[in-house]
Amino acid sequence: MIPRTPPSPGHSTAMTITHEDELDGLKIIGRIVANTMHAMAKAMKPGMTTRELDDIGRAFLDQAGAISAPEATYDFPGATCISVNEEIAHGIPGSRVLAEGDLVNIDVSASKNGFYADTGASFQLGRVFPEIDHLCRDGKRAMQIGIAEVSHGKPLANIGNAIGRFASARGYTLIRNLASHGVGRALHEYPEEIATWPSRDTRRIHAGLVLTVEPFLSRGGRWADTHAGDDWTLYAKPKAAVVQYEHTIVATERGSIIVTLPG
């Protein structure tokens, strides 16, 4: 989930893990959002509305004692973000009916006991189109390549530079105004605007830093923008297929720990 307005000043500092119980708290909410996203993906079927799919996600969060982060933080009109086909992010759950072959992005972020985690992935519903399947596999790979660049002392720019090399070598583009971000004690914290495309960011990663890695890989799209009448839902410009994969991770001296894993 990307903020439509800047985080408040109270959210400007980065969360740094210094105790095992903090990591445990992140792992708990990370597992909850991951389980919720995968349960929604498993439950979706042609003929279901995105509101019905969101209701499933809300029920999972409620059962786990978690609070939808976009709803609580930004008054987003849904428990989760569900973006279909031409929608690439922040899709509002509603009356849209899912159909065979749809490309559906599910983004789940939530909090529990003061800890926040954020995850997302793109799924093909039913029928698999080879070109989109390849895009999905490479989108997940792009995220993994970015995560591999996270460890103590490395520049934040390494994340986007590595993803950029991968994308360019395979003829893909990257959406350049949807960035990764710090997370942990709030949905969006410092460091804000972590590029998942080539940049000259001079900020460095430190051990214990909590952040997301979430590239938006595309077959031609370069920017995200809204359409008239909806200030939330984002679309690719130029119009093109886009996938997004996201994990919340914690930087360490020797790499990173992914906390948004199902279990």
Residues at the annotated binding site for a divalent metal cation?
A: 107, 118, 181, 214, 246
Note the pTM of the prediction, 2 decimals: 0.94
pLDDT, one tens digit per residue, over 93-145 is 999 999 999 999 999 999 999 999 999 999 999 988 999 999 999 999 999 99
Domain that holds residue 177: 13-258
- Whole-angstrom CA distances from 206 to 183, 186, 263 are 14, 18, 28
Question: Is 7 part of any domain?
Answer: no
What pLDDT does residue 6 have?
39
Question: Is 101 part of any domain?
Answer: yes
Position 239 pLDDT exceeds 60:
yes
Question: Is 161 part of any domain?
Answer: yes
The enclosing domain of 249 has a CATH number of 3.90.230.10
Q: Which of 188, 51, 178, 41 is nearest to 111 (CA)?
A: 188
Question: Is 243 part of any domain?
Answer: yes
Question: Is 2 part of any domain?
Answer: no
What pLDDT does residue 229 have?
76
| CA gap 236, 218 in Å, rounded | 9
Question: Is 263 part of any domain?
Answer: no
pLDDT, one tens digit per residue, over 173-184 is 999 999 999 999
The 3-class SS string of 199-246 reads CCCCCECCCCEEEEECCEEECCCCEEEEECCEEEEEEEECCCCEEECE
Query: How many structural domains are present in the chain?
Result: 1
Residues at the annotated binding site?
A: 90, 107, 118, 181, 188, 214, 246
